[in-house]
Amino acid sequence: MKNRIVRAVAGAFILISLLLAIKVNVDWLWLTAFVGANLFQSAFTKWCLLEVILAKLGVKD
């Protein structure tokens, strides 16, 4: 369950930041880069802050 939530939140952040970059300011692409970098590092370290937060909220795997 946590993995699905993490993917959904990451996807939503990317889509929202792309929309904001088109409609508001291109600097919103930095949010897209941050989310992508976080996904990339979590693939190697197997650590994701959102998973830690979800675990503390009681969301099970």
Whole-number Å distance between alpha carbons of 35 and 26: 16
Domain annotation covers residue 24: yes
Under 8 Å between Cβ of 61 and 2: yes
Domain annotation covers residue 61: no
In the prediction, which pLDDT does 2 show? 87
Tell me the pLDDT tens digit for each residue of 15-58: 999 999 999 999 999 999 999 999 999 999 999 999 999 999 99
Residue 36: both structure tokens together: 């992508």
Cα 39 to chain centroid distance, Å, stands at 7
Query: Is it the case that residue 61 has pLDDT exceeding 90?
Result: no
Name the residue range of residue 7's domain. 2-56
Under 8 Å between Cβ of 38 and 50: no
Domain annotation covers residue 6: yes
Considering its fold, how many domains does the chain have in total? 1
Tell me the pLDDT tens digit for each residue of 4-17: 999 999 999 999 99
In the prediction, which pLDDT does 60 show? 86
Under 8 Å between Cβ of 36 and 14: yes
